Amino acid sequence: MNFKRWISIALAALPLLTGCDGFWQNPNSSNSNSGCTSNCTTASSGSFYILSNATTPQIAGQYFSSGALKSISGSPWTAPATPYSMAIAPSGKYLYVSTTAGVYLYPVSSGALGSYAQVSQDAAALAIRPDNTGVWLIEAIQASGGVTMAAVPLSSSTGLSSGTELTATYTVSNAAVQNGAIAISPDNMYLFVALGSGGAIAVPFDATASSGSNPFGAAATVIPVINSGGSALSVAVDPAGRLFYVGETLANSAGNSGGLRAFNYTTLGGTLTQASGSPIAAGGLAPRAIKPNGAGTFVYVANGSGTSSSGNIASFSVSGSGSSNTIASGSTATAGILPSSLAIDSTGIFLLDVNASGSPYFDSYTFNSSTAGKLDIQVVSSTVTSPMAIVPAP
């Protein structure tokens, strides 16, 4: 069997893991090391939540206090069924979890989760996220020969469904929706979903659509994988609105390892172009999560290297404006086995990572005060097992 195809098949056979940017980010945070000293061992963070697919699926709530990892009172909380994905409302008042039994909401009060309630009955919403206004809950659902996008209108007072769910289905050959791999542009006008060997898709979106009107555009942009046998595992969007990213297997220049593709956002709807330097080697076999910093000057990629080898978090610098941008490789930091989800906490001090196969299950990093973009490894933990996703409170 062709070596490249063997790698792709082996990676595709791994359990689908959450890996994307797709979570709301505090626009007031620069995600730099806000007042943090060189090693930040005394720093405190905002709250964050880890979705676990252990024997008893659950959500753990944690935070850093004076450099020590702490649990939120009442944590962990049981998930209603086998989970796929997790996201948090822009207000921070509601945490959403998609499962094999549908999509559920947990109210959030002082960091603690309340009793869950069902938002939709969609049992195959593999990736979810609220739009940037909190008016809609977006779902990416596996469809025969493509992907179905669903938009659930939300009540501002309860976070639950307030009307009829609206859908649009897009035909994409070989589409396989990746768990949690959804992102939205900062202007709220495009949704991005990773579709495995089907590549990625950019779907036009109108958050201001009137009641009962479908917010999804008819003409989506499909981005095929760059090399035959490759698989799009993750997506993300630059908060500055310059670039959107796709992480693929077999997408480095040699076509035998993972690659990061950086596309100029302003060219969507026309002739799509990539940043100078893209595609660029992602740093491992499987780029399962992508996280830009708040200023968009650096982007971090969580790379897996198989089920028995440690992964890494690779950093890339980003410069330019409009449709003229450049991406370049930087340093890497070690991670556990199969890193699968990245987040930056609300203070902008910590980059957080969870590893599906452990060693450890959780990594935290701070941003080096001397070398821009470089990560310093801080606290690691294996308290929460089999993690799928990590989401920060805004």
What pLDDT is stored for residue 40 in this prediction?
Answer: 57
Closest by alpha carbon to 243, among 185, 290, 201?
185
Residue type, 208: T
DSSP state of 266: G
Which helix H or strand E contains 109, and what residues bound it?
strand 102-109
Closest by alpha carbon to 343, among 46, 36, 39, 11?
46
What pLDDT is stored for residue 13 in this prediction?
Answer: 39
Closest by alpha carbon to 126, among 179, 73, 196, 186?
179
From residue 160, how far is each of 104, 113, 390 by CA, in Å? Answer: 9, 15, 22
Q: How far apart are CA 258 and CA 338, in angstroms?
A: 13
Prior bond to 15 cis, omega within 30?
Answer: no
Closest by alpha carbon to 26, among 83, 85, 90?
90
325: three-class secondary structure by DSSP: strand
What pLDDT is stored for residue 329 in this prediction?
Answer: 97
Q: How far apart are CA 26 and CA 30, in angstroms?
A: 9
What pLDDT is stored for residue 210 in this prediction?
Answer: 81
Domain count, the chain: 1
CATH number, domain containing residue 352: 2.130.10.10
Alpha-carbon torsion 167, 169, 175, 181, what sign? negative
Closest by alpha carbon to 187, among 233, 132, 231?
132
Contact 20, 247 (CB under 8 A): no
Domain that holds residue 123: 3-392
Q: How many residues does the chain have?
A: 394
When computed from its CA atoms, the radius of gyration of the chain, rounded to whole angstroms, is 19
Q: Read off φ and ψ for residue 154, nearest 5 degrees.
A: -115, 145
The one-digit pLDDT tens for each residue of the chain (394 residues) are 444 444 443 443 343 344 444 333 333 333 333 334 445 567 899 999 999 999 999 999 999 998 899 999 999 999 999 999 999 999 999 999 999 999 999 999 999 999 999 999 999 999 999 999 999 999 999 999 999 999 999 999 999 999 999 999 999 999 999 999 999 999 999 999 999 999 999 999 999 998 789 999 999 999 999 999 999 999 999 999 999 999 999 999 899 999 999 999 999 999 999 999 999 999 999 999 999 999 999 999 999 999 999 999 999 999 999 999 999 999 999 999 999 999 999 999 999 999 999 999 999 999 998 999 999 998 999 999 999 999 999 9
Q: How far apart are CA 186 and CA 132, in angstroms?
A: 7
Tokens of 319: 């410069």
Tokens of 66: 């004076």
Residue located via tokens 């998930």? 79
What pLDDT is stored for residue 212 in this prediction?
Answer: 82
